[in-house]
Chain A
Amino acid sequence: MQAEHVNGATSKPVYTPVELNPKSSFHLFIAEQDVPVDLQSLYNGCTADKAVAAYACASDSQLLESLQNFPLTGTLYLAGTEPFLWRVTSHARDAGLCSDQVRLLAPISRERHLFCCHCHTITEEVTYSPYACSGCGAMLEVTDHFSRLHGAYFSFQANAEDSADMPEKREVN
């Protein structure tokens, strides 16, 4: 597993500008904690039946309940950190929403969740590589290979082949 190739992986999500779904009769806008400006302006521009809410936790019971009762003609708009976006998306799928019913705004921060392939721990708020695993302590090479299920990026021990060969620290975007 060589970092040069895992970076640029096609599994890395691409976030395109979000527009209101003209086919929907109900629009639900969900933010992680504070409602960001771009979600607010989508909400303001929506003239159909609509609601807006903020949740600190992607698995908030009230949020899950609103997904369970989500109308077939509804569209869900999500804003927040990348792990939040995909965790809520996963709950929405479980509740029966199809992919066209869930629209994601670009993540509000470049922090990543990192999945350590050795101990399977997820380390949060990662902004550079290599980064110490919060589980096993290994210095992890951050890749662009992304799991929607885990809401996290793949990583592996950066100097596993040659312990003296630690890559230089770099920012991840």
Chain B
Amino acid sequence: MRVAPKEIQSFRDDFTYTNSASAIERFPFPFPEDEYRYSVNIEAHQPKGGEGSAFEHYIDVDEHYLSEMAERELVLKDMPNRCLVMPHMDLACWEMLERYMVSLAEDYPEHFKLTRDGDNWHWENKLLNIDDHFTFGDGATLPRPPLDYIGRQVQGDFALMDQREGNLFMDAGMVTCPADWSLAFDAGMSFDEWHGPVPMVKSEGIIERARKYLMALPVGQPVRRLNWTLTVNARMDTSTEKYNEWGHERTTITPENVSEKVYLRVEVQVLDRMPRSNAVTISIRTYLLSLEDLVTNKAWAVRMHRALKTLPEALIDYKGLTRFHGMAVDYLSQFDPAN
């Protein structure tokens, strides 16, 4: 059974965000083994897990669709430069818009409809009551530039990378729910620079291998990888821009509230080559699950405990878990029979 978008919930202030039982069941749990380690962990972005799975379609539209789109509007109203596009990325943005509209209309015909007659396109998004006619490739015919337009209708953050000079450069993006980074600062950076602050990866050669892999990514063969961290409260916008507003929440965790206030934050990152611009698009789709919801799945509770317990100190620090990592491990230990 597919999860239908539900009423708007908040990712800030009163934090009304919740996961239904079916949303918990389909949560993309990221740990394939007990011990956590860095890996490039890339697989083909092919359907997996059957009907209702988070990997059933190219784009996953779930019960949080309306909530996430409302949250995105709040962020962009406050800081319009969370969406940045360098002029040479215009074609890549149109290609991304095309890719997203076509797949949404094919996979969710009850919600989205695309009618094309040459360059004359008609787009209907019934979830957000959008109904627009426009000329593909002509920005003047859309209410907003192409990335700004489609980005407000698809869950997740987006980065578009230009490929040149033997590297990938992040020259466009819409980033309203990042795990502690800033698009405004990282814009224009090469793949290696962008990952500059990540610990351990240099000595392990991971970034270089990932870059080489992505530069050889063929058209029509998207790939995905999962990344994760822990977030205090169901806060989508943990950008570094707002770190001065959410950072103090890391000090609010106690053994009593750790299970309800600490969320496993999983990013499903999909990387796809655009055929004409040769850009690589990355969508970074964020899923949040409280520890108390997570432990309703006994196998996940055990694995989460072991992954957190064996997490290297450098990663605990980098992910910003230092203040509450021990409490999360202690809480989870009760579900691990090895203890």
A interface with B by C-beta (< 8 Å) = 1-2, 4-6, 9-12, 98-99, 115, 117-118, 120, 138, 143-150, 154, 156-157, 160-163
Pick from B196, B244, B322: contact of A157, CB below 8 A: B244
Contact of A10 among B181, B202, B244 (CB under 8 A): B202
Query: Would you call B81 an interface residue if the criterion is a C-beta within 8 Å of the partner chain's C-beta atoms?
Result: yes
Q: Which of B165, B241, B250, B323 contacts A99 (CB 8 A)?
A: B165
Indicate which residue in B188, B189, B202, B244 contacts A118 across the interface (CB closer than 8 Å): B244
Q: Contacting A1 at CB < 8 Å: which of B195, B243, B314?
A: B243
| B73 CB to nearest chain A CB (Å) | 21
Q: Within the complex, which residue of B180, B196, B242, B250 is in contact with A161, where a contact is CB–CB below 8 Å?
A: B250
Indicate if the CB atoms of A11 and B196 lie closer than 8 Å: yes
What residues of B have a CB within 8 angstroms of the CB of A2 in the complex? 317-318, 320, 322
Contact B185 A118 (CB under 8 A): no
A-B contacts, 29 of them at CB < 8 A, read A1-B180, A1-B320, A2-B317, A2-B322, A4-B317, A5-B317, A9-B196, A10-B202, A11-B192, A11-B194, A99-B165, A115-B185, A117-B184, A117-B243, A118-B242, A120-B81, A138-B244, A145-B196, A146-B193, A147-B186, A148-B188, A149-B188, A149-B189, A150-B185, A156-B243, A160-B243, A160-B248, A161-B250, A161-B251
Q: Return the contact of B251 from the options A10, A11, A154, A162 (Cβ within 8 A).
A: A162
A118–B64 Cα distance when bound, in Å, is 28
Residue in A138, A147, A160, A163 whose beta carbon sits within 8 Å of that of B185 in the complex = A147
Indicate if the CB atoms of B241 and A118 lie closer than 8 Å: yes
A154 touches B182 (CB 8 A): yes
Interface size on B, residues (CB 8 A): 36
Contact check: which of A98, A144, A157 meets B165 at CB < 8 Å?
A98
Complex: how many Å from CA A84 to CA B197?
A: 23
In the complex, whether B91 has a CB less than 8 A from a CB of chain A is no
Q: Are B240 and A143 in contact (CB under 8 A)?
A: no
Check if B69 is an interface residue, CB within 8 A of chain A.
no
Across the interface, which residues of A come within 8 angstroms of B240, CB to CB?
A: 1, 117, 154, 156
Give Cα A145–Cα B241 distance, bound, in whole angstroms. Answer: 15
Residues of B within 8 A of A11 (CB): 189, 192-194, 196-197
**Identity of the chain B residue whose Cβ is nearest the Cβ of A12 in the assembled complex:** B196
Kindly report which residue of chain B lies nearest to residue A162, judged by CB atoms.
Answer: B251
Q: Does B197 contact A5, Cβ atoms closer than 8 Å?
A: yes
Smallest CB-CB separation from B207: which chain A residue? A10
Q: Ordered nearest first, which 4 A-B pairs have the shortest CB separation?
A: A11-B196, A160-B247, A149-B188, A9-B196
Q: Which residues of the partner chain B approach A148 to less than 8 Å between Cβ atoms?
A: 188-189, 193
Interface centre among B181, B189, B197, B243 (most CB of A within 10 A): B197
Residues in A with CB closer than 8 Å to B251 are 161-162
| A residues less than 8 Å from B323 (CB atoms) | 161
Known interface pairs A1-B180, A2-B320, A5-B314; A10-B247 also in contact (CB < 8 Å): no
Q: Which chain B positions have C-beta within 8 A of A161?
A: 247-248, 250-251, 323
In Å, the complex CA distance between A163 and B318 comes to 20
Could you tell me if B318 and A118 are in contact, using CB atoms closer than 8 angstroms? no
A144 and B196 CA atoms in complex are apart in Å by: 9
Specify which chain A residues have a CB less than 8 angstroms from the CB of B250 in the assembled complex: 161
Query: B326 near A: Cβ within 8 Å?
Result: no
Contacts known (A1-B320, A149-B187, A161-B248); A10 close to B196, Cβ less than 8 A:
yes
CB within 8 A of B189: which of A117, A143, A147, A156?
Answer: A147
Known: A120-B184, A144-B196, A161-B250. 9 other contacts (CB 8 A): A1-B320, A4-B317, A11-B189, A118-B242, A143-B197, A146-B196, A147-B188, A161-B251, A162-B248
Residues of A within 8 A of B189 (CB): 11, 147-149
Query: How far apart are B197's CB and chain A's nearest CB, in angstroms?
Result: 5
The smallest C-beta distance from A35 to any residue of chain B, in angstroms, reads 29
A1-B180, A147-B186 as given contacts; A156 in contact with B196, CB under 8 Å: no
Nearest CB in chain A: distance from B89 CB, A: 14
Please pick, from A120, A143, A149, A157, the residue contacting B243 in the complex, using a CB distance under 8 A. A157
Q: How distant is the Cα of A11 from the Cα of B198 in the complex, in angstroms? A: 10
B240 nearest CB neighbor, chain A only: A117
